[in-house]
């Protein structure tokens, strides 16, 4: 038979099992955390009508999209989870209760030029809270706080959630007479970190922003200080622009309540240079940087918007959300060797029967599983070395040997696969109940272990 | 602005939140059970090269597939999880440890004519065990036993896993001189339940099967009895066909060990009429029927095959697996109103602050979440009726009211949302610790509840 070389399309991540199991653990931790805050899961089709996905056209989206026809239907693969959310909320409006809190973790598609660390199929993990007509700014404090708990729950500590508010920026531009091209100014400011102050000044000059105004703006926006110090600087403008005052008020509330949500001051800070290019955002905006790797850019971003679904409904649906590029994050963690590979196993116990009759092995394994212990039985007729090597390769923490003696005595031989050489209890022959108790004790320690482990 | 009506492609299931949350619970139960038996998760791309997906061509597959080109790449959306598994195992062979046990729950695509209960995008939930060169028949007993535990874990009791073995059928056809067109005979036999004995006889006659042979075969294959009685009938042929003897031996082992795996005799039975049309299967085959709804056909099927990946590698990789059509199963359970809707909630507690300052609400909610209680805070400024109505609509079992008095006294008012009228503890004002204890008690009861609830 003709053999076809089994290869994937480029830009499509496919993990080997010991990586996949960690990816799943991370995904579960996200879901678990989102649910802890009362978010509903949703799941939308990967294929949608092109007219739905491309309602808001422009930019690179159309070039990158996977679009095709079948019969007389023009369809495309989703390129983010925001457009499907907008469609979902407009379509199911009468079935939803607002504020509507939803998470969605799903694959999205972008036919970009493939390059290292860039994916054409990748998971996004989004949370959004959608209001009907209005939505309290408290939600703007809750959303990044949830992300804080997601990252620390995974074992990541060394990150900063950076906050800004578009009303603050717009208010300042008003004061500096730049309202007309606020969006352009914002786009330029947004590049501050990337291109440096001089280039920003040059680009602003092209927009006829005076050198003096540019300097004042850059000094203010680039000011480094505690959240309270930055808020103090902004409060000095009080009474001069309604928009600015409102923005400062919102930013103050977000900063105050994030603390109450349990986010330590060291993990979030106001950064007035963050604008999030998209026109879409109207209030709070967020980016999240990995302190020791600023070069990888934001690992979790989002913000507040006034109108989620204007292309699909006349209802005003404001919302706030953040998104994690999960596939890219996983890729980076894997590259940096920050994943806790000791958790990458298929089972807690490998049951190794030493007799031809498997009855006892099957029955004892059932007891282990009833006790919540994941148990795989090695059924194949292989040499002992091969069987124990299997547990070793799969990083299974416990092996149980079940020979004629054990079966006769109603016992099992329990071996800790990765015990220290001098561990006196490395291998013991005990009753099934005692084995279960010992395994559970060992697993409880493992359960505390986080998916991400960053060396000091 | 021009409004585009938000609608989906037909044949694409999209659930409202209270349905989606149940779908997710079912999916989680599946994953949890698969993991309990030592299965690794894998995740393969939804898009693959067409030459990979269509390596084994023919049938309706090619017509139904979503296939398109981008640049000069000819690609298609996967139509099952078996072909991607074959590619995965061949591609990652050197990274895998055999027997390789994997589960995959993912969306697959078939551009079929849309009709009620038929989906173009649907989830399959597959488990397979792949051996390198050989694979013990014990795995044939384990796989359906896992599915038994999946279904009963979901709350479904009233189902039958039907077993057969292709070697038994082929051996019998050999004895009846039908080896040449065994596949055709098998296809006809497979239709017995659908078209009836007379039509089967007529079709067999077209293949030149004598009326006498057809009658004998049908009497044997259609014989109703206990598993042991059927095995006895088959053992009467011992020594006449090696293939038959081997098949009977395998079937006996599977029947014996399924019992040891904890499957009650009432939930599985040998059915010699099951052939599973595909040429692909070579030993044990399975179908699963919902006893009170035989009309919906098999909800979980599969079998043993000799060669998983012959199109992608010269390695011989035998395996055994079963697959649940999850989207269709969910659709059916929903239509029959067998889903336990009381579990369809976004959170355990709705925290309702009665003051403008949200500090206490945020801090107490953090304590609840630390105790593992999913807690949503109602932040919007609405009338009390509206707030409590929110908990009611979302089926949230507990509400906490937090007014000035409670905050001053370090207490909360805890209300059971769905308590009986005469429940004296329907609403109590207690300490946060006491509230947590009460909520945990109530949730423990809910946690026992199954996703599927079938009225007697």
pLDDT per residue as tens digits for the range B81-106: 999 999 999 999 999 999 999 999 99
- Considering only CB atoms, A46 lies closest to which of B46, B139, B359, namely B46
- Considering only CB atoms, B21 lies closest to which of A1, A40, A134, namely A40
- Considering only CB atoms, B46 lies closest to which of A21, A121, A350, namely A121
Q: Which residue has the higher pLDDT, A155 or B179?
A: A155
Band of pLDDT at residue B184, cut at 50, 70 and 90: confident
Question: Does B173 score more than 80 pLDDT?
Answer: yes
Q: Which residue has the higher pLDDT, A216 or B136?
A: B136
Question: Does B278 score more than 80 pLDDT?
Answer: no
Question: Does B61 score more than 80 pLDDT?
Answer: no
Residue tagged 């630390």 (tokens): B370
ipTM of the prediction: 0.95
Which residues make Cβ contacts (< 8 Å) with residue B149, sequence separation at least 6?
B33, B36, B262
Distance from CA of B379 to the nearest CA of A (A): 6
Question: Three-class SS of residue B353?
Answer: strand
Q: A7: which chain B residues are within 8 Å (Cβ-Cβ)?
A: 49, 52, 91
Contact B47 A70 (CB under 8 A): no
Q: In angstroms, rounded to a whole number, what is the distance separating the alpha carbons of residues A105 and A90?
A: 20
> How do residues B12-54 score in pLDDT, each as one tens digit?
999 999 999 999 999 999 999 999 999 999 999 999 999 999 9
Instruction: Output the pTM of the full model.
Output: 0.96
Question: Does A308 score more than 80 pLDDT?
Answer: yes
Confidence at residue B58, expressed as pLDDT on a 0 to 100 scale: 61
DSSP designation for A12: B
Question: Does A421 score more than 70 pLDDT?
Answer: yes
Confidence at residue B164, expressed as pLDDT on a 0 to 100 scale: 96
Question: Does A380 score more than 70 pLDDT?
Answer: yes
Residues B384-411 have a mean pLDDT of 96
Contact A260 B52 (CB under 8 A): no
Residues B228-234 have a mean pLDDT of 97
Question: Does B72 score more than 70 pLDDT?
Answer: yes
Q: In angstroms, rounded to a whole number, what is the distance separating the alpha carbons of residues B456 and B454?
A: 6
Q: In angstroms, rounded to a whole number, what is the distance separating the alpha carbons of residues B389 and B403?
A: 18
To test the contact with chain A by mutation, choose from B1, B2, B4, B391 the residue with the greatest count of A C-beta atoms within 10 A, namely: B4
Distance from CA of B231 to the nearest CA of A (A): 20
B43 HSE (CA, 13 A, CB side): 19
Q: What is the 3-state secondary structure (H, E, C) of A237-284?
A: CCCCCHHHHHHHHHHHHHHHHHHHCCCCHHHEEECCCCCCCCCCEEEE
Q: B138: which chain A residues are within 8 Å (Cβ-Cβ)?
A: 358, 377, 379
Decide if A421 contacts A400 (C-beta within 8 A).
no
Size of interface A-B (CB pairs under 8 A): 252
Strands B40-41 and A411-416 come out as unpaired
> How do residues A11-47 score in pLDDT, each as one tens digit?
999 999 999 999 999 999 999 999 999 999 999 999 9
- Residues composing chain A: 456
- Considering only CB atoms, A45 lies closest to which of B5, B14, B39, namely B14
Question: Does B145 score more than 90 pLDDT?
Answer: yes
Contact B379 A139 (CB under 8 A): yes
Contact A100 B138 (CB under 8 A): no
To test the contact with chain B by mutation, choose from A62, A362, A388 the residue with the greatest count of B C-beta atoms within 10 A, namely: A362
Nearest C-alpha in B relative to A69: B68
To test the contact with chain A by mutation, choose from B17, B263, B381 the residue with the greatest count of A C-beta atoms within 10 A, namely: B17
Question: Does A180 score more than 90 pLDDT?
Answer: no
Confidence at residue B53, expressed as pLDDT on a 0 to 100 scale: 94
Ordered alpha helix ranges (H), B110-241: 138-154, 166-175, 182-190, 192-206, 211-221, 227-235
Confidence at residue B185, expressed as pLDDT on a 0 to 100 scale: 82
For chain A, the helix, strand and coil percentages under 3-state DSSP, each to the nearest 5? 45, 20, 35
Confidence at residue A178, expressed as pLDDT on a 0 to 100 scale: 80
- Considering only CB atoms, A16 lies closest to which of B13, B21, B95, namely B95
- Considering only CB atoms, B376 lies closest to which of A38, A131, A379, namely A38
Question: Does B276 score more than 90 pLDDT?
Answer: no
Phi, psi of A371 (to 5 degrees): -85, 10
Question: Does B139 score more than 80 pLDDT?
Answer: yes
Confidence at residue B59, expressed as pLDDT on a 0 to 100 scale: 60
Nearest C-alpha in A relative to B348: A38
Contact B43 A381 (CB under 8 A): no
Question: Does A127 score more than 90 pLDDT?
Answer: yes
């Amino acid at each position: 038979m003709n053999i076809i070389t089994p290869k994937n399309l480029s830009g499509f991540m496919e993990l080997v099992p010991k990586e996949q199991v960690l990816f799943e653990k991370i995904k579960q931790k996200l879901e678990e955390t989102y649910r802890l805050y009362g978010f509903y899961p949703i799941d939308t089709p990967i294929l949608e009508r092109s007219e739905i996905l491309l309602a808001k056209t422009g930019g690179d989206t159309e070039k990158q999209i996977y679009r095709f026809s079948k019969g007389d239907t023009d369809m495309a693969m989703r390129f983010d989870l925001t457009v499907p959310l907008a469609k979902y909320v407009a379509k199911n409006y009468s079935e939803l209760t607002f504020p509507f809190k939803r998470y969605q973790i799903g694959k999205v598609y972008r036919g970009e030029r493939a390059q290292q660390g860039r994916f054409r199929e990748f998971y996004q993990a989004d949370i959004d809270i959608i209001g009907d007509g209005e939505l309290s700014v408290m939600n703007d404090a809750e959303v990044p706080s949830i992300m804080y708990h997601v990252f620390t729950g995974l074992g990541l500590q060394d990150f900063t959630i950076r906050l800004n508010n578009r009303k603050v920026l717009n208010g300042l531009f008003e004061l500096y007479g730049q309202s007309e091209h606020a969006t352009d100014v914002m786009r330029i400011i947004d590049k501050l970190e990337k291109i440096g102050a001089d280039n920003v000044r040059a680009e602003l000059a092209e927009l006829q922003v005076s050198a003096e105004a540019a300097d004042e703006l850059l000094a203010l926006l680039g000011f480094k200080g505690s959240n309270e110090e930055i808020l103090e600087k902004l409060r000095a403008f009080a009474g001069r622009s309604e928009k600015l005052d409102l923005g400062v008020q919102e930013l103050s509330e977000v900063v105050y309540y994030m603390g109450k949500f349990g986010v330590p001051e060291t993990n979030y800070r106001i950064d007035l240079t963050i604008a999030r290019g998209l026109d879409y955002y109207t209030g709070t905006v967020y980016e999240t940087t990995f302190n020791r790797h600023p070069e990888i850019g934001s690992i979790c971003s989002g913000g507040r918007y006034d109108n989620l679904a204007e292309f699909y409904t006349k209802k005003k649906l404001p919302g706030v959300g953040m998104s994690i590029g999960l596939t890219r994050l996983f890729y980076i963690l894997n590259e940096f060797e920050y994943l806790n590979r000791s958790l990458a196993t298929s089972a807690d116990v490998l049951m190794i029967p030493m007799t031809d009759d498997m009855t006892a092995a099957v029955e004892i394994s059932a007891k282990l599983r009833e006790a919540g212990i994941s148990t795989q039985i090695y059924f194949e007729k292989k040499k002992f070395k091969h069987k124990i090597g299997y547990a070793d390769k799969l990083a299974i923490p416990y092996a149980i040997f079940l020979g004629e003696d054990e079966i006769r005595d109603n016992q099992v031989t329990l071996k800790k696969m990765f015990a220290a050489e001098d561990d006196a209890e490395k291998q013991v022959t005990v009753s099934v109940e005692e084995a279960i108790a010992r395994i559970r004790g060992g697993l409880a320690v493992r359960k505390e272990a986080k998916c991400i482990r960053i060396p000091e």
